[in-house]
Structure 1
Amino acid sequence: MPLLSFPNTLVKGCLITLGLLFCVIQAAALPVPELKGHVNDTANLLSSGTKQLLEQQLRMVAAQDSTQIVVLTITSLGNESLEQYSLKVAETWAIGHQQFDNGVLLLVAKNDRKIRIETGYGVEGVLTDLIAGRIISKIIVPEFRKKLFDQGIINGVAAIIASVKGEFDAASLANSSQKTDPAGWIIAALFGFFFIGLFFRKKQKIAAAAGGFYGLGLGLAAPFIQSIAMLLLVAVLGMLGSAIVSYVVKRRGHTRRSGTRMIFPGNIGDNNSNNNRGMKSDGLSGGGGGFGGGGASGDW
């Protein structure tokens, strides 16, 4: 009888061992953080001002073009592969619309010094793997190597937006660096001035001051601005631009909360079948687009 029961005992032991091994693997897997909006800075890589500006910017893009672009920074990948984890986040958060597959994820792993742009099927024709790679290597990485993380992500997001709109000139980056091509810097400046004015729509003086400081920071980060006169000019333009936007938005009656929600409607990935967690009522919705591993990766 003991001899007959030995195979059964062996099978049970193997099953228990496999079960324990599966639990260990699952516990070691890096969890997907709670989705709180378009900008999820779990690594505390960005300033509060940058997060607010990017959030408003990406909401507007979603409202106008339906493309859903989400930023995630994490401290470390642990034992996860960058590409596998990026795809897991995009699918778990259900980024993009089901009928358009137009989701994009910008993932930054701080301690691993890695960057990934994950693209949905619907945007692969305009935001190709080649373009995504150039955005990382030519626009984001140069700023990250100077520890200008805010500027790198602002410029990268601006380039992603331009790409999905079909307005990004990837050829200009093929044989040049960000130092000689100010296009990303100009886009970042315009978006920054606009969203500062939008954010401080009830306080023109504060908008002007914030726009001036933002312009000053951009000027200091731009290698092609090499004189104090040009630096001051950018600061003044920032003050004027942000103040004018603040005034115009206030005059048009966009100060009501209900009005703002009409401009930026919906929730990101409002799809329970995709295990979407931590949704907020002021995000985006589209049911979740399809991802097939398209995009590019890089490091700094």
Structure 2
Amino acid sequence: MKKRIAIVIGIVLLLLAGILAGGSWYMVDYSLRPENRGKDMEGSLTFMREKYPQINPWLDSLQEHKALRDTFITASDGIRMHAFYVRAMRPTPHTAVIVHGYTDNAIRMFHIGYLYNHSLDYNILLPDLRYTGLTEGDAIQMGWLDRKDVMQWINVAPSLFGDSLQAVVHGISMGAATTMMVSGETLPAYIRCFVEDCGYTSVWEQFKKELKEQFGLPAFPLLYTASWLCEWQNGWNFKEASAIRQVAKCRKPMLFIHGDQDDFVPTYMVYQLYDAKPAPKELWIAPGVDHANSYFRYPEEYTARIKSFTGKYIP
């Protein structure tokens, strides 16, 4: 009898282990290899032209004068990475490195490119993060591995725009988390400040929220095993991918932006991030705005706030 009970228990445990392993594979693929992953370049451009019609004359002019250019570099692990860049109308050290969000690509940041290049006369550099746009890769990296790639682009920027750079790094959503993750690293002096728009505190907290909302599941045990699987596949885990720990190390100025109606990256996260960041720092909570739509709802105020903030550190 005892032997039979042990066999049954063993079978049940094996079944549970199989279910958990399968669930972990599904979660990692669902989260890091989504079908909608920013590879539709033409569709992205159409979307941007329709959503932000004010950028169309600027885009048309860039295309007419062949001012929108491509550049490629190779990451330390051999991944071929792509970015768009545009020089300002006249030579200037003012430069913005602009980082896109989850399942987006560099094209879907053209409205922020318009803000800096057209409205503020900055050089702009817009990378495609891994597994998106024209950049290679086999999974989205949620900002953590991307921070190293963005740092490579930061190092490339002087070769594109000149050695006397004064630069801001500006990201939205996952790009904002990437920006904050970058901010905790040792950076060249020409990176003067950061703008993060609706970024999450950590991959762990964001996935924990999504696991509960989308599937009605608690963090234990699936989030733990999926995190281990991600570390095995990608070399990082959900807990170490922490924007809040990185901003706590950042001593350069940062502007935090978040919509007060954001339920995808909940608004409470920005207060936690803001509290963790040492001064200098500023915070703008955009009223009536859901996720990643602060510029869409308030383009003039958004531009004015960016101009005021960056003007203090990039004179």
TM-score by length of 1: 0.30
Task: Decide which structure has the larger Cα Rg and report it.
Answer: 1
Q: Which has the higher strand share?
A: 2
Q: Which has the higher helix share?
A: 1
